Amino acid sequence: MTESNDHLIDWLRDAYAMEQQAETMLTAMSERIEHYPDIRARISEHIRETRRQADMLRGCIERRGGDVSTIKNMAARAMAAAQGLGGMFASDEIVKGAMASYTFEHMEIASYRCLIAAADEVGDVETSRVCAEILREEQAMAEWVFEHLPEVTRAFLARSETAGAEAKV
């Protein structure tokens, strides 16, 4: 199971880097939001979850004998993918920001779904449990965003029709 163990730790590192990227992007986004207090509040809540998730992942990595100090090299691909969505996160349209965060949540959901299968395969019960817990939080956040996309779209369009309402975020 050497190869499978190596893949599992690589993927845990990818996930750790992904959560760090998530914290950076969500923090920047929430600081720019002026006119959508509900979204800002939900993002703030999810930033707290994201920090805790990163801690939990670091615990899994360390329990498996790895560390996160070399993460920058290991997770370049996950970072590139995240940064590709950066343009949408930094958009002046709240609609694009909401879409980006919904998309990124699903990169996370896919990661944890695969990590659970990989952890089960090598018999790492604790990593499987941690990833299942994180998966549920990501799914809850994704569901919240999905439910709010139409309302955000309507609010954004209404503001754009209002003369003088420059700030769109």
Q: Which residues bind its own copies (CB under 8 A)?
A: 1-4, 7, 11, 77-78, 80-88, 91, 95-96, 98-100, 102-107, 109-111, 113-114, 116-118, 121, 142, 145-146, 149-154, 156-157, 160-161
| Residue 64, Cβ density class (10 Å: 0-12 exposed, 13-18 middle, ≥19 buried) | middle
Q: How far is the CB of 106 from its own copies (least distance, A)?
A: 4
User: Which residue, 38 or 151, is less far from its own copies as judged by CB?
Assistant: 151
Q: Which is nearer to its own copies, 3 or 125 (CB)?
A: 3
- Residue closer to its own copies, measured from CB, 61 or 116: 116
Please say which residue, 49 or 121, places its beta carbon nearer to its own copies.
Answer: 121
CB–CB of 15/39 below 8 Å? no
Least gap, CB of 133 to its own copies (angstroms): 17
CB of 159 to its own copies, least distance (A): 9
Helix residue ranges, H only, the chain: 2-32, 37-63, 71-74, 76-84, 86-89, 94-122, 125-161
